[in-house]
Structures are given as structure tokens and as C-alpha cells.
Amino acid sequence: MAKSGDAVLEFIGELMDPALPVAKTEVKNLNDFAKSKGFEGDIIMPWDFSYWAEKLRVEKYDLNVEEMKPYFRLEDCIDALFSLANRLYGITFEPIDLPVYHPDVKVYDVTDNDGTHLSLLYLDFFPRASKRSGAWMTEFRGQKIYNGVEERPFISLVTNFTKPTADTPSLLTHDEFITMLHEFGHALHGMLAQGRYPSQTGTNVDRDFVELPSQILENWGYEKEFLNSFAKHYETGQPIPDEMIEKIVDAKNYLSAYYHMRQIQFGILDMSWHTLTAMPDKSVIEFEKDALKASNVLPSVPECIISTSFAHIFSGGYASGYYSYKWAEVLSADGFTLFKEKGIFDKETADKFRRLLEQGGSVDAAELYRDFRGHDPQPEALLRQLGII
């Protein structure tokens, strides 16, 4: 979507300039907190940051993960995803008896509001010895038209949630539920695909566009109206308390400017390497230090650099593309603003977004986004969502 290196650098600047002073203030406040708790150094160093950040988070928001988990039983969360997709797009999910590659895997027949078959959805939620860690969406078959016959997709959503025991169901943290929403957003991109060529349908889109469907769906996980529709204590049936939702929402932007700047620094470093036209006359350490010095919010450690372990850009396919994480966050924040204006279950807005999902990569991503939102993505939307402005 960005089209040029100059556009990426301009984009990074638009996100960095308002955030840098806020991030420095956050670090100063954390430093003051650490000193109030007995920290004896002049300033917290990078290796101190996570320790004191967690201490302050617990004191400031009093979020107890174990107290929240009973309100996020896996089966209720699955129903919540299906219900959300039904309210937005009119699609339904019915369990279907098909052969599967492991007994834990469940398969659903996904149908449109007129009963038309859309997709198969495989849910694979629990860890096992042969399974890698993490969470992801994938497709066993993409949507396409072959010899005049349409083949609908087979989509898989995979996680590593805690398996139920004889006494306790699988209970998720709120962060795990957000991950579930994220991957389901990718799954919807695949399931709703409408096109001819598999290379241009579903998630086969520009890298800085592919995370829009996943990241925008995360927003519903912080909406009281949605949480109240399903988050009930698995033993008592009591709805999730309002004060717990308030804590979840308040904590969402904890140290948001700092973490925002951290991602921006990765993007700056990536583009610094990518825009080289000749071998630099300095060491790797010197090159990196010079590239990042204007954006540092914590002291730079002389002997430490990121580049030598920056697998994303040297072996992970993100060379000149690390900015795309923030680019997609802007798309998500700007896009969800429309849902907030019209209503988070507004059918007209959802229909517009569905058209974006259906077309995959067959139409230029910038054009798709403008058709949905009515304007180009606005970085200010993300800065507002993060509480930076």
C-alpha cells in the first residue's frame, strides 16, 4: 500500500513526532516510581524496564488475570466469535462430522445468510507434542474458480490454549481472547473470499494490508456491549463485573507511547538498512546507533544492537516491510472509528467492510480501503486510540 520508501519514512515521522515526548514522559514517570520503591540508580536501564513496568501495572490497575479467566470459558468465547460474525455479516457456523487430523480438532460448516455454503472452518485449540507454539490462521484450500467450478475455502484457526481437565473447562486470559479475535479476523478474510485466482483472494494481499482484518476485530474485545453478551462466570453464571471491564479498557493503553515507539524504532532501523545505496564506512554498531539515536527513549547500551538478531527483516520476509505492523494498526484504528461512529454492530458499515474482505488482492488495497472508509487512512486515528493525542 505504501508504494515507496519516501511514503514509509513520512508515515513513520507522522507517528513518531507526537509520540516521542509522551514516551519520554512515560519513562520518566516509571523511573520516579522505581525510585519511590527503592531503586537506587540514576535512571532505569533497558534491563530494568520490564520489571518496574510490571510492578507499576499491578499497582495502577490491579488486574488479576486469574480472577478474569473464569469469565472467558473457551466454549463461550467460540460462541461469541460466531455470534459476532453473524451480527456483522449474517453468516452461521454449524458443527459438521468430517474426518480430522487430530481428535481435538472440530470442523464447522460456514453458510451465508441465504444458506449458501461459504467455507469449512477447522478449530485446533490445544497444545500437543507435534505442534509448534503460538497462534495462527492458515488455509488448507483457498477460494478459486477452476474449470468453471468454484471451490470454496478450507480455513484453519490454530492456538495453544490450556486444555480442559476433568474438573475445569478451558479458561482463557483476556489477552488470549484478543488473540482469538485476531486470528478469527484472518479467518473471516479467508472464508468470505470471492474471486477467481487463489493468489488474489483471502489473505493473499499486500503485506501492509493483511493485518487490517485481524487487528480491527481485536477492538470488539474491549467493547462493553460485546463483552456483556457472553462473558459470564462459568460456575455462577454472573456477568463480568463492570469494574473488571473498566480495568481491562484502562490498562489497554498502559505505556502505549513507549511500546509504540519501540515498534517505530524497528521500522526506522529496517528502512535505514533498506535505503543504503553503498556500503557504510562505519561498523554495524555505529550504523545502528546513528540510525536510532533521535528516537531513543531509554539509554542506549554501547555493546548491544538489534540488527544482528533482527530475524524479521533478514530472514523473515519483512525486509523494508517492518513498518507494515504500524501501517495496519492505523488502518484498524481509522476503520474502527467508523464502527464507533455508526455503532459496533452497524450492518451498513459491516456490509462495506465485508466487500473489502471479499475482494482480497484483486483490487488495489488503497482503493479497497477508500471504498470502505471514504478517505485515505489517517495516522491521527491510531494516535488518538493509543491516548497519545
Q: Report which of 55, 27, 84 is spatially closest to residue 226, judged by C-alpha positions.
A: 84
Active-site residue, from 26, 176, 183, 358: 183
Mode of pairing for the β-strands spanning 154-158 and 117-124: parallel
Task: Count Cα neighbours of 155 within 13 Å in the Cβ-side half-sphere.
Answer: 28
Nearest-angstrom CA–CA distance, 94 and 263: 40
Q: Is the dihedral of CA 268, 269, 275, 276 positive or negative?
A: positive
Tell me which DSSP letter residue 207 carries: T
- Beta-carbon neighbour count of residue 333 at 10 Å? 22
The amino acid at residue 323 is Y
In a 3-state reduction of DSSP, which class is residue 92? Answer: strand
Q: In angstroms, what CA-CA distances link 283 with 134, 272, 277, 298, 320?
A: 35, 14, 16, 22, 21
Non-local (6+) Cβ contacts of 127 within 8 A are: 133, 160, 163
Phi and psi at residue 110, to the nearest 5°: -105, 125
- Beta-carbon neighbour count of residue 293 at 10 Å? 9
The amino acid at residue 118 is L
Nearest-angstrom CA–CA distance, 203 and 75: 26
Neighbour-count burial of 157, counting CB atoms closer than 10 A to its CB (0-12 exposed, 13-18 middle, 19+ buried):
buried
C-alpha cell at 276: 543504503
- Beta-carbon neighbour count of residue 135 at 10 Å? 15
Q: Quick one: which H or E segment has residue 354?
A: helix 347-359
C-alpha cell at 97: 462430522
Annotated active-site residue 183? The verdict is: yes
Give the catalytic positions in this structure. Answer: 183
